[in-house]
Amino acid sequence: MKRLAGLVVTLTLMLGVPVAVVAQDGVASVSAAIAPKLRFTPSQMALAQMVAGDADLAAFYGGNGLQPIFLGAGGAARREALRNVIAEAPRHGIPSERYRPDRLPQVAESLQDEIAYGRQAARLLRDLSGGILTPASADPEIKRAPQRPSIPALLDRFQIAADPASILRQAAPRHPAYLALQEALSGPAELAVPADLPKAPEAVWRSGMRGDGVVPLRDRLAAIGFRTVSDDPTLYDTALSDAVAEYQRAAGLPDDGVAGPRTIGMLNGDAASGQDDRQRAILIALERMRWMAGTDLGTRHVWVNIPEFSTIIVDQGAEVFRTRSVMGRNISDMRTPEFSEMMSHLVVNPSWNVPRSITVRDYLPKLQDNRNAVAHLDVVDGSGRVLSRDAVDFSRYTAANFPYRLRQKPSGDNALGVVKFIFPNRWNIYLHDTPSKHLFGNRVRAESNGCIRIGDPVDLAQALLSRQTDDPAAMFRRALDSGRETWLKLQPPVPVHLVYFTAWPDASGRVRFFADVYGRDARVWQALQDAGVDLPRQGL
């Protein structure tokens, strides 16, 4: 039935009028009423039937008059362009074998050859412009749906282009981060120390320590760009500790500045799996970037990278604000999902409407034991009216039928602090302040119920308001001093992207690595392997 529907689409596009197709004994044919009006050659009808099972190819060939574009001398440039870009696929972390280059003959003469080229061109365009995987099928907590361009439209541009290879290449993301990830994947291994340098002896070096083993440690760091200068090369001084911490961040290690066995082993090249782990993270990051290829990030946007535990503002491609953040716990229903939305408002002095999951899981049992428990929360009915606790028999209810909500008034100890940042979404996720500041000192900050707690919320609010007022600090202070819940509309709204990159380039272009805190990358990697992606061979 899908094949028949595709044939209908193809012929309808070709004619510009509705076409009926009937199937008899498994063979599709045009209805007798319209057949006399058709002027299709046998070759055109054969091509229409061959592409009927692929909606993109059916639409493309139906729109170009069922004319082949890869056959004969006229199609030679397009064939060569496709073969060349397929050969470049490993630079995107995609094996060329995915596009069956062995089945693409140098000289194409038959319709079977035409369709072989057409199918692989469409597949390559789909992969580069929206990713190999359907994100939610790899992990249901990835709520991102790739915004793919029209493949028939891209094929049409490919058909008429003077440089058809450029159309294929331009389908991939052109974000600077994607290019940096590609370079880290296929260029020289930036963290690989030349083999002829003496290895650093295994030890634990801290700032202030001294010994001959510090010298090869310095030399190995300097060879990969972490150079320090010291009057005493045997001293593990503050500058060397800082260089070690920078290397650790780049290598995905805890950045404590202490050169212990794991750090020295990776510097010495002993931890062979370290390079594999980094390449795997880069391959996954490239795929994630392809999922976002069709998303308008916005010239100015908020970028929340979950594994990095950071929230930043990017403006004109440059990071202009950064703050530490606390993400959801690594527990079902608490892990922070991935998606993009528009941030529309700041709420100063927010009330906290306790999520129902927290209400029935954490607070209802306490209220059943003692109706005066959690006294900082109001019991609210469906109309928003605050109820007297004496009027509610909490013992009557279960998690399934509890009819009330809990709400905390604006206050100094409100769970949302003094401000929250609203970007309406199905999962009720937002950014917010918190009175619990101690968690921001932790290296791993997966401690919330799913929303993102902001380390410097007032500074973030003022940075976001700076486009609409000359004095954002005063605008925020007036709302705060009112003591009332106040909604400040962002004009214009700001895109916000909740992302999950365990490999991501910093401002210098050096790719940094972060732990797979939710195990989400492991599931994406398994799906990529199932699709034929694996660690790249040397010399890409």
Q: What is the pLDDT of residue 225?
A: 86
Q: How far apart are CA 416 and CA 411, in angstroms?
A: 9
Q: How far apart are CA 304 and CA 338, in angstroms?
A: 9
Q: What is the pLDDT of residue 102?
A: 93
Which of 92, 301, 432, 497 is flagged as catalytic?
432
Q: How far apart are CA 474 and CA 335, in angstroms?
A: 35
Angle at 286 between CA 282 and CA 287, to 5 degrees: 120
Q: How far apart are CA 346 and CA 298, in angstroms?
A: 19
Q: Report the CATH architecture of 298-505.
A: Beta Barrel (2.40)
List per-block mean pLDDT (blocks of 10 residues) for the chain, which spans 540 residues.
54 53 48 54 89 92 93 93 96 95 92 96 97 96 95 97 97 95 74 84 92 93 89 93 88 84 85 72 97 95 98 96 97 94 96 90 93 91 90 92 92 90 96 94 93 97 96 96 95 97 90 93 97 74
Q: What is the pLDDT of residue 40?
A: 78
- Measured N-to-C along each axis, helices 272-291 and 176-186 cross at an angle, to the nearest 10 degrees, of 150
Q: What is the pLDDT of residue 208?
A: 93
Say if CB 240 and CB 215 are below 8 A apart. Answer: no
Q: What is the pLDDT of residue 83?
A: 97
Q: How far apart are CA 309 and CA 323, in angstroms?
A: 9
Please state the three-class secondary structure of 31-47 as a single string: CCCCHHHCCCCHHHHHH
Q: How far apart are CA 231 and CA 233, in angstroms?
A: 6
Q: How far apart are CA 410 and CA 436, in angstroms?
A: 16
Which of 175, 345, 438, 451 is flagged as catalytic?
451
User: Helix H segments across 131-229?
Assistant: 135-138, 151-160, 164-169, 176-186, 214-223
Rounded to two decimals, what is the model's pTM?
Answer: 0.83
Our answer to whether residue 451 is catalytic in this structure is yes
Q: What is the pLDDT of residue 22?
A: 46
Here the tokens at position 473 are: 């600090």
Q: What is the pLDDT of residue 73?
A: 86
Domain spans in the chain, listed from the N-terminal domain onward: 2-63, 298-505
Residue 464: φ, ψ to 5°? -70, -30
Q: What is the pLDDT of residue 36?
A: 47
